[in-house]
Structure 1
């Protein structure tokens, strides 16, 4: 579906007249009529559905989808990175947040990211061995399989192993992404072995085979945690990193732990929102923004007034993100205060409905043109279990480094730490002591897998997009609240403000000319694609790769929405599958 060219809330209001079919004379169904999976690649979606057909549950399917994305979307994620899994167990009614975020190697102190004259070394922070944190995604597969799945890893990883060994056709975004990072990728022999054929990069349609990655996944399936974090794979990872000048050791690989955390939950209008706690910054920011906005009837306002209030809520949430948030195992995060409705009311009182609030901080660089170098999937199964999974290697192709013989493309998540306090990272956001690196510490993340639950609807939603993840999920929540279906939510136009730099960035179809002019009259700087911001660049044309599923319990239907912007296979998802008798 092609996104509307009108403002976000104009789209919401126009679709209010065509809400999801709701049979109010029937009691809400206790179980979905089948399965729904939405992911950014048709092969990953099919991997999840294959496992569901074989009798697996949503948690088994999550492993299959996540592993398959790790094979077919090396531009965005992989087992050399990490992720978050927000999960709901229908049998117990329990929600749990699985934290498989990467951790800092002991040697990665802030001083290691400075040049001889004390300046921040961005190349070291983003490329090669010093950019990489200890991966968490393989440990998550083991943890989920042992505690929540019903099938062995040998079965749930089988689709990914097959895709890695037999290969898949290279698609346009993959090929273009490689060209954009070719200089970095071709520094490293292990990376050249995977992505070059006869010395040349893949072209669209060429088959990408990854036999070393297939072997690594097989060892993980056979030996569990020890198949990746100890033994031959661990030895090759350490050797490959250290050969390029990094400093990893066996003890810190073997010490990696998945963390189970209590999700953040709060109410917005008729919905219970369940979302990501620290070390994600997304859940706290989402709670702040929505509880601020709770004080207005957004649908009663004109377009510019709505966007102004939404932007002002974004501005305040990102300000708090900068100073207060980090790994809760290392710093005291004032989560209860920051997610309190009373605190939100105080922030709301500082908003002038007729004027933008200056961010009032030293000016930063313009938000970089941002790719979709993270991925998200959403799953609901026939028992009512659900999973929202967001996983990443951070920027385009992560660090670019594949240790020889592993097939594992390592992340560049170290840049998500405040490596030099007050210096913006690749996404233009700053941090201070709360997010400074320490051995074993998890860097702050924007990944925000989220559930929405009302009396008759349940949705799972999330997206890639760096810091814009948080604001895209916010707009998705507002879309569902306004009555949109899953595909319309996935296609919504998007805009963003992150406190610094002090400007609204937007997709080309987010605002019409009148709304943009009205926002500027309120004091906002508005950057649209093709326009050049003062001291920087205009915003990206399209953002994110939103994936969502919706179960309407009132009429017993399932929907899946896959982003029309960047999903491979033209948003090809299976909306529902009948439950076998």
Structure 2
């Protein structure tokens, strides 16, 4: 059955993105300037961990709507000399004093990005009561301290320079702000920054985020200690509690990063490392196992049967996931078509160095612009990760004091073969992340595709919602085969809305040492970077500055 779709044939573009190549390493991110901040660490003699931390901090200043100091996430690291992988879970935690009664279910409100019920006044997705303890600074600091090689002050210098310069507004930035104008308008500090004169900031202007550069400078000097237990912590908690949050000094001071051996999956001679069951990793492992059973020996190139096998595998793993998290009853056939349609959040990045160390990092504010709250004393845009939790009692993801986020779609993946890291890939896009990441990885492993070819190939999206979405660039025979098995939505890959996630990744050829990096073709500000000194855009000072 073919379902009507407003996205079937509305844009007239051929989207491609260039890959960067170097034997000295590569970085890929959803913003080119952030990737260059990371690549500058490689140029200065740093490793892939230095590069990924620099990239992640730089995104605070150039892509603040997706991730930042107020967010949380996962990292997977391959340590080439030690021949081992490490995972870091720096997901957020709920306030110890949180109460279910603060979040009464409101059936008239839309579901959260995780598929849980909406609540009165959208308290779990907007405003101060939607904020969890952010784990990003702890995670980045632990990665750098344990596995990096350069001083924090030098790794963070590009991020501070970008924050001091201010956010250059282009059409894409204006789009992001406009999409969340209603949420941003609820918070006076955010509204003053992003909605000057009550309207989304216009292209060719420049926004100053007050206090952000100072906050980054404090972190560069004092690390996670000042953020969770020092002077910054005092400012953060004061602002949170003034806004009505139940987060306390003890909640911040007690925060810890989980460091552990990643989940492993094997496929066609590769070992894939992901953060595990709290991420999209378990679904990825289940999807690959299902696809390998359906396709024991892959053909030379993908066939209609290949795409059917991928779709069926995604449907099966998503059904099990929804049963595990209590979103779906075991006897139910599928969710409604509206479930899982938010593809607008999170930032993913990857880095590889000449030695073969490789890192995949995904972190997020959850929704675009998170809670919509910018803390006045620090310039930090805060998450809305309370919506990771179920406001109803009795489920595995039900809210409880101090509880850590235990169900996420993020799926940073590092693939190793014959003891060498071959590629890492991740994505942004909520429920769309795992299908996109796993599809790109499967195409590389099943058919020997390069990262560049796999990222540019047409995609499908399936998450057990009653239909699957397919790119019309797939050939007629494939579309017919899929339509014979599923309700089909024909939808283009577009800049907005992103209907197939936003993938980025790096790869390395152990024989030649060539490293490759690229971002999704639908991400106009994304890209890869190779080792070079960091420089601000020479046009950075031309737009007029807008101060709140």
1:102 to partner: Cα distance: 0.9
Q: Residues 512 and 359 (structure 1 numbering): CA distance in 2 closer, same or farther, change over 3 Å?
A: farther
Cα distance in structure 1, aligned partners of 2:501 and 2:105: 33
1-structure distance, mates of 2:434, 2:302: 24
Please name the residue that 2:350 is paired with. Answer: 378
Matched, 1:468 2:432: yes
Give the one of 437, 458, 461 matched to 2:399: 437
Q: Cα–Cα, structure 1 residues 288 and 553, in superposed 2: closer, same or farther, change >3 Å?
A: same
Q: 1:362 to 1:372 in 2, by over 3 A?
A: closer
Question: 1:116: how far off?
Answer: 8.0
Q: Is the 8 A contact 2:343 2:498 kept in 1?
A: no
Give the structure 2 partner of residue 162 of structure 1: 161
Partners of 2:402 and 2:388 in 1: CA distance: 14
Of 405, 410, 414, the residue aligned with 1:451 is 414
Q: Does the CA-based 8 Å contact 2:41-2:531 persist in structure 1? A: no
Shift of 1:127: 0.7
Q: Structure 2 CA distance, aligned partners of 1:112 and 1:73?
A: 31
Given the superposition, is the C-alpha separation of residues 160 and 540 from structure 1 closer, same or farther in structure 2, using an over 3 Å criterion? closer
Alpha-carbon contact 2:343-2:431 (below 8 Å) kept: no
Partner of 2:57: 67
Distance 1:236 1:229, change over 3 A: same
Q: Which is worse superposed, 389-398 or 226-235?
A: 226-235
Aligned pair partner of 1:367 in 328, 339, 364: 339
1: CA distance, partners of 2:46 / 2:292: 39
User: Does the C-alpha gap of structure 1 residues 323 and 359 become closer, same or farther in structure 2, counting only changes over 3 Å?
Assistant: closer
State how far apart, in whole Å, the 2-side matches of 1:64 and 1:217 are.
12
In the TM superposition, what are the counterparts of 1:33-432 in structure 2 within 5 Å? Answer: 33-115=23-105, 120-121=118-119, 123-280=122-279, 282-295=280-293, 296=295, 297-299=297-299, 303-324=303-324, 360-361=332-333, 363-367=335-339, 369-420=341-392
In the alignment, the residues of structure 1 paired with residue 325 and residue 198 of structure 2 have an alpha-carbon distance, to the nearest angstrom, of: 45
Q: TM-score, normalised by structure 1?
A: 0.79
CA distance in 2, matches of 1:462, 1:175: 25
1:281-313 per-position Cα deviation (integer Å, ceiling 9, x unaligned): x11111111112112134379844322222221
Q: Is the 8 A contact 2:40 2:531 kept in 1?
A: no
**Whole-angstrom distance in 2 between the partners of 1:113 and 1:473:** 33
Q: SS in structure 2 opposite 1:278?
A: coil
Aligned partner of residue 24 in structure 2, secondary structure: coil
Q: Distance in 1 between matches of 2:504 and 2:517?
A: 8
* SS at structure 1 position matched to 2:56: helix
Aligned partner of 1:574 among 508, 517, 529: 529
Kindly tell me the number of residue pairs found equivalent between the two proteins.
493
Residue deviations 1:300-359, cap 9 Å, x none? 798443222222211221122224369xxxxxxxxxxxxxxxxxxxxxxxxxxxxxxx98
Query: Structure 1, residues 505-558: CA drift from partner, whole Å, max 9, x if none?
Result: 23443x445533432322x1112239xxxxxxxx95643221111111123322
Partner SS, residue 467 of structure 1: helix
Q: Is the 8 A contact 2:354 2:513 kept in 1?
A: no
Corresponding residue for 2:467? Answer: 503
Whether the 8 Å contact between 1:489 and 1:561 is mirrored in structure 2 is: no
Aligned equivalents of 2:424, 2:83: Cα separation in 1 = 15
**2:111 paired residue number:** none
Alignment partner of 1:391: what SS? strand
| Residue aligning to 1:515 | 478
Change (3 A) 1:208 1:484: farther
Q: Note the residue ranges of structure 1 that are not aligned, 5 or more in a row.
A: 6-31, 327-357, 422-431, 531-538
In structure 2, list runs of 5 or more residues that go unmatched.
1-7, 9-21, 109-116, 534-548
